[in-house]
Structure 1
């Protein structure tokens, strides 16, 4: 009986140690993140499973699950770079978001006629073909994509115009266009406060980001403390409602770098 009890105790110890090690790894190094929406297409697709590098910018209270790290501000902090794809904690609703870092502290950001202006200079775009996908429910939320080729039925091809955009520091990335006079194709000038950042989704006409105030469901400016880490690599990707549906995995996205 004593042997049996000793075996149970050892098993419990092993499980507890494994959970502690996994928790420490998730807190200090890499956090998995499941992409739930199409706001970052085609850089990130619904169902991409990415690893977030938590060492990239140092640590804050949001580095721990539920924001429980006993940290004030950031420690071991490093400045994020314009063009990084960043996971951060929403300043109001507490959700984790993933967007591209566009504006640094002190920058003036504006969108005019669908083009991004940073400190008065346009970030040039060149056409890069058409992004196509099948119109169907996507991911656990079963949302359907928006298309630039109008309303299409299930099973038809949904298209978005694709462009290559170059940021002032030389970062080149894809952006999508759905409509030419969308709700965020023309904005006021945003001046990014010290200690905060301005984010946008690559799917420009389908992203609630820093162009929208927190009062209307947007992101607004994001404090440095809220940065969780940099999305560096897609581990795998599922086109189905669950990552367990291995027959829906996208073979071309295994271990793909996030650019």
Structure 2
């Protein structure tokens, strides 16, 4: 079974979105441009995963531009999520044998400043397995990093808010049960829970990935729940991060003027302060 690798959060203004995540207490790296894909990003690194705030999608390759730009019908937000792979050609053949239609393998290389002042370049390859129509933003892809030392740099994983790792990802979908087969094929395992309104997968690292129906948004996120945008059939709506100390995170958010709903065991930040994503901090 595969685990979460990274998250592509599409935004229309990279400066504003980057500043928003800095106010949330993340160490967001400078702007980098994908040499072959054309888009640009700012990322923050975590244990085992990284979060990519991606922009200039209108400058990207047509196979990305034409598929990603309609995401903005519902504003900024999660566009596509990558799972892990240690052998892309093998996994591409496996996915194709399951009846899915993987794209060619691409190189998402980009320059990255290293802590010693030098500049290196990532060597990360991936392939997309797009879904059509209204389910396009319930798409996953697979990535392999041939230079992991440029992707996971310990000093870049130290965040003022104390964030350590991603523990959860939530999608909203007009038909969660209809997403089960695709997600099961991509994760390489069946869901641990499934009903007409909610489907859940748990990765080998213990990350919880849920797909829920729109009526469950308020139950899950309370006053921070975003409105359901029915122009799309589904999309990523929330991320959960484990932090070192919830009190420290609480204080930082207050200092930076970021409203958070304090539920005691978790802090819930409305999507309006997460560039379209609900963010929760847990200890």
What's the TM-score once normalised by structure 2's chain length? 0.27
Task: Mark the structure with the bigger radius of gyration.
Answer: 1
What's the TM-score once normalised by structure 1's chain length? 0.29
Q: Which has the higher contact order (CA 8 A, sep 6+)?
A: 1
Higher helix share: 2
